[in-house]
Structures are given as C-alpha cells and as structure tokens.
Amino acid sequence: MNAVGLPSTFFTDPPEWRWLIIGYFFIGGLAGGCYFLAVLIDFFGGAVDRPLARLGYFVAFPAVVVSGLLLIVDLRRPDRFWHMLIQSDTGHPMLKPYSPMSLGSWALLLFGGFAFLSFLAALEDAGVLRWPRLAMFRPPHIVGRVIGILGGILAFFVAGYTGVLLAVTNRPIWSDTTLLGLNFLISAASTSAALLILLGHRRWYWRSSVAALERFDAMVLVLELIALVALIASLGSMARVWLNAWGALLVVGVFLLGIVIPLVLQWRPNLLGERWSAPAAAVLVLVGGFLLRVVVVLSSESLGVLG
Amino acid sequence: MAEPLGFFTDTTVCIGCKACEVACKEWNQLPSSHGGAPTLSGDSYDNTRQLDGLHWRHVKFVEQFSPDRADGRWLLMSDVCKHCVRAGCMEVCPTGAIMRTEFDTVVIQSDVCNGCRDCIAACPFGVIGINPVSNTAQKCTLCYDRLRAGMEPACSKACPTDSINFGTIADLKKMAAARVGQLHERGEQRAYLYGADEKMLGGLNSFFLLVDKPEVYGLPPDPKMPSRNLTPSSLWSTLGAVVIGLMGIFSFRNRGATARRLEEDDVERRRTA
Ligand code: SF4
C-alpha cells in the first residue's frame, strides 16, 4: 500500500461516531432550530403567530431531552456522562472553552433548562396547565424575555456547534473545512422550519403563520444551497473522496431532494397541487437535512490508512 | 516539574522482534484481542496491524518488495504515542481525563474517561483506541507508574537492540543528532529525525529516526492541532446565525398587518363562496 502523497488527516483513526451521533446531530438541530424560530416569532411576529411559536417550544424541549439521551447512550461509559460537567476527582465544574464538546455539553444542559421553562409557559398558554404564574416564563414578561434571548442564543449554539466539533479534530473531510458548523446551523434552521410547516399546515387558521414560515424556509434553502457549494469548494482536492456513493447521496439526497425540489415546489406549488406541495416540500427538506449529516459523518468514518 | 522524559526510537536498528510489544502488554496487563485466537492480517508478517486500546506499542513492518520479489527491503518501526508537547487529544478531551504529567508526558486517566472518543478523532497519529475491557480510551502512558517509581518504561527496557531509547529529551536529542551524523557519514543519506524539533506540535517527546518519507511508516507528513479550525469555524457559524436571525425577523415582522389582510381575504373568500 502506498500512502505517500496522502493528506495528513488520513493517518488518524475514526472515532466510530455513527447512527446515535447522526441522530443527535439531526434532532439536536431540530431542538435548537425550533426554539430559535419560536423565539423569533414570539418577539417579532403578531398575536396570530402565537400558536406556531408554542408549537416550536413543544418540539424543542422533548427534542433536547432525546438529544441528551442519545449522547449519553453513545458514550462507552454512559454511567460517567456527568464527568463532562463535573470533575470526577475534585467535584469542581468541568469546562474547557476551547473544546467544542465540553462547551457543547454545558450549552445543551443550559439550553435544556431554558427549553423546559418555555415549554411550561407554552403549556400554560395553550390552556393545558392551569397555573397562571407560568406566564412569566414567556414574553412580554421581562423574565420571559430574558429566557427567550438567552435560550435563543443557546439554541443557535446547539444547532451549530456540532459542525464545529467535527472540524476541531484531525479527521478527513471534517477537519479539512471550516464550514461544517455553518452548514449544520443553516440546515437546522431549514429542517426546523420544515417540521413546523409539516405539523402546522393542516390548520387553516394558522395559514398566514405557516405562509411566513414558508417564505423563511425558502430563503434559508437558498442560503443552504450556497453554503453547500462553498463547503465542497472549501474541501479543495479533498472533495475527491466524495467521488463515490457518498457523493452521489450528497448530490441526489441533500442537494436535489433536500434543497432544489423543495424550492421548486415553493415556487410552483401547482406542480403537486396546493394541498400537497407544502407538506411534500417539508418532508423532503427533513430527509435532505438528515442525509447531510449521514454523508458528512459516515463518509469520513470509513477513511484512513492503518497505522 | 521533573525534566521532560521521552523516547527516541531509532528505526534503523529495529529487528522486528516485538519484545517491546510483549513487554508493554505484560506490564500494563493488556489482554490479547479476539480472546487469544490467532488472527492473521493476511498481507503482512505483522499481525498486530495498528496501535489501539489494547496495543500501546506496535512494531510496524513496512515490506517494500518489487512485484517479482527479486528486490526488497524491510523497514521496521516500533510505533507508540508521541507524547506531543502540544497534544491534540488533551486539547479536546471534555472530561479532563487526559493530563500532562510532571515528566511532560501525556496520560489518559482511565477512571475519569467516559468514552466519548473525541480524542481518537483528534490525535493526528491515530494512536488512541477504546480498550474493550475498561470501555475507556487508552494508549501508552510512557509507563507513568514505573517512572514514578524511578524505573525505565517496560518497552525500552526490553528492547534488545536499543532501537528504543529512554531518557531526558535533552539527552535523547543529542544522541539522535549524533546517530543521524553517523549514518550520513556511512552513506545512509536518507536518515533524518521525525518530530525532534519544535516545529512539529511543539516537539514530540517520543520521536523517531527514519530513512524514508513519514507516510511510508504510516506517519502524517504534517500533523496539526485540532484547534486550528476553532476560530474560523466559530466565526462562520456566528455569521450564519446572524443572517438566519435577520431572515427570521424579516419573515415575521409586521405580521400583525399581513396576517390581518390574509384573514380578511379568508373571510371574503368564504363569503363569496
Ligand atoms: S500522539 Fe496522539 S495520543 Fe499521543 S499525545 Fe499526541 S495527540 Fe495525544
């Protein structure tokens, strides 16, 4: 075997991050994305958009719980998951600002807290919980505003840091570009908008809110298209490692199914009929976002020379 | 801190006996793989194949033969953790399990590690692996326990040809420079040191004398720190967050007015229908 000429990242070992981590990247993205969309709607939308914001909070909290569980189960020693947060020998907090995984663990924990409060407030708002004091956890109450702003910032962080985490390694593809965080963040926004559209499009009185979300999703998809092309360009000659089934999946699954066709459906809803265009586009965006993570994670896992 | 200690591995005198591998396994009580059943690599006389959680020393056999096998040579190299002065594994470890010792070596504390495997992806040399017995990430400790007791690491002690040399980094560097000079003098012009100077990750406390390109030995030509990507990746993501935030504001602001218009439309449509 002749390894001369291979890039340095090929001499590293794969961490065996597979489906649990892919699932986390996807669901964590939805948690963050749905939350920040809900906050944006709460802060800038009208009263009519309220139900949509609530839906965002209803998705975000369970999704962040599932995210945490996926991460813990993926550890080889799940019983020691708390070592990420507390130094096991001293009992002091464990935080390394320059380690994305360390920072991410804290972000996920804190975000989970904010998502929980917003979740409670949304339940109260929807009339499920009858405890009026919970209203303070949502805007316009000042406490609710602070929760929204801090939780929203953390939501963006949770949605994007996973790509940065992959870049801060020495693995092929992951560490050969600095655009994975950006791509994951944008994809979190588009998949979250798609999920909310999918869950909300059947109720006619949500129509205008969903329409606003569709406009947003279209813009984000265009951004995603640009970011994806930039990602491939930033890989330079490394992009050749995608000249295989992974590359095909990227082009067909992520690029065509996940971005281009949904954009066409938004632009020409008559192609599938008014009734089916929006949900079909939303499903495709979700599938594309999932496949993006599948390709990025698994295509790198299989690369490298024995050493 | 005591003086930095490390290994200088002179690959030109390695005979591939694997005494170091065995001594390492014995001292560190590393079990055999596959329950001890012999597993052959099938394409090499080396059946260990790589460093991982159960193999902290690995003698690589680089078998360079012409296709008709009329001509050939063996390059043998006992590979090990490089105990990088700037260690990628330690940088990313989120639990603090990976520490730098008073001997300037890098050690994973197995009782702290929770098996997240970030260090495996971060090590530029592919050194770390999960030990299936402890389910934690493990690698060479440069025999931290033996060093604390004033003893030499098991592998270098066992090496019958002094291919593995143990000592202070200062002494090892002198020894290595002299050996390169000697080889050059005797006509082996290809001899050079890999990782001895500070340009490579601040210096490798376990460095090598090689006679071919690093890649031939399965070593990266230009190992880097994972954190090189941290700032640019974060900045791009932040920029993305701002743009998406603005898109969201743009899509939902003034929604009071637009929504009312749409609702009036609705009412109108139902009235005319
Ligand atoms: S060679 Fe790898 S495992 Fe060893 S100190 Fe360097 S980065 Fe860590």
Contacts of B182 by beta carbon, 8 Å cutoff, 6+ apart: none
How many separate domains does chain A show? 1
Nearest to B85 by CA among B103, B109, B60: B103
Q: Which amino acid is at A220?
A: V
**pLDDT at residue B101, as a whole number:** 97
B223 CB within 6 A, ligand 1: no
Strand partners, B106: B100
Query: Given a cut of 70, is residue B261 above it in pLDDT?
Result: no
**pLDDT at residue A207, as a whole number:** 83
**pLDDT at residue A168, as a whole number:** 98
**pLDDT at residue B270, as a whole number:** 63
Identify whether A79 is part of a domain. Answer: yes
Model ipTM value: 0.95
Q: Which residue has the tokens 């320059």?
A: A98
**pLDDT at residue A268, as a whole number:** 86
Round to whole Å and give the CA distance between A81 and A182: 27
Round to whole Å and give the CA distance between B92 and B82: 17
**pLDDT at residue A254, as a whole number:** 97
**pLDDT at residue B57, as a whole number:** 97
Identify whether A1 is part of a domain. Answer: no
Chain A residues in contact with B124 by the CB 8 A cut-off are: 8, 11-12, 170
Query: Mean pLDDT lowest for which of A76-90, A228-242, B7-21, B250-264?
Result: B250-264
Burial of B40 (0-12, 13-18, 19+ CB in 10 A): exposed
Round to whole Å and give the CA distance between A46 and A33: 20
B137 CB within 6 A, ligand 1: no
The CATH number for A127's domain is 1.20.1630.10
Q: Which amino acid is at B37?
A: A
- Which carries the bigger pLDDT value, residue A274 or residue B30? B30
Mutate to test the pocket of ligand 1, among B93, B101, B106, B200 (most ligand atoms within 8 A of CB): B106
Would you tell me how many other CB atoms lie within 10 Å of the CB of residue B170? 10
Q: Which amino acid is at A226?
A: I
* Architecture in CATH of B5-223: 2-Layer Sandwich (3.30)
Put simply, whether A57 touches B (Cβ < 8 Å) is no
Round to whole Å and give the CA distance between A65 and B250: 30
Identify whether A152 is part of a domain. Answer: yes
* Confidence band for B1, pLDDT divided at 50, 70 and 90: low
Identify whether A2 is part of a domain. Answer: no
Nearest to B242 by CA among A169, A225, A214, A182: A182
Round to whole Å and give the CA distance between A60 and A37: 10
Average pLDDT over every residue of B211-237: 97
3-state secondary structure of B231: helix
Q: Which residue has the tokens 């009782």?
A: B111
Taking only residues 92 to 121 of chain A, the set having a beta carbon closer than 8 angstroms to any beta carbon of chain B reads 94, 96, 98-102, 105
* Confidence band for B217, pLDDT divided at 50, 70 and 90: very high
Contacts of A273 by beta carbon, 8 Å cutoff, 6+ apart: none
Identify whether A210 is part of a domain. Answer: yes
Contact B92 A164 (CB under 8 A): no
- The stretches in chain A having pLDDT less than 50 are none
**pLDDT at residue B188, as a whole number:** 96
Identify whether A122 is part of a domain. Answer: yes
Nearest to A55 by CA among A151, A144, A119, A143: A119
**pLDDT at residue B260, as a whole number:** 61
What domain range is A201 assigned to?
8-306
Round to whole Å and give the CA distance between A297 and B107: 28
Query: Given a cut of 90, is residue B59 above it in pLDDT?
Result: yes
Round to whole Å and give the CA distance between A186 and A163: 11
- Which carries the bigger pLDDT value, residue B87 or residue B69? B87
Give this prediction's pTM.
Answer: 0.94
Token pair of A107 as six digits: 């972000």
**Do B143 and B151 contact (CB within 8 A), yes or no?**
yes
Identify whether A60 is part of a domain. Answer: yes
Identify whether A96 is part of a domain. Answer: yes
Contact A15 B263 (CB under 8 A): no
**pLDDT at residue B37, as a whole number:** 87
Taking only residues 150 to 189 of chain A, the set having a beta carbon closer than 8 angstroms to any beta carbon of chain B reads 156, 160-161, 163-165, 167-171, 174-175, 178-182, 185-186, 189
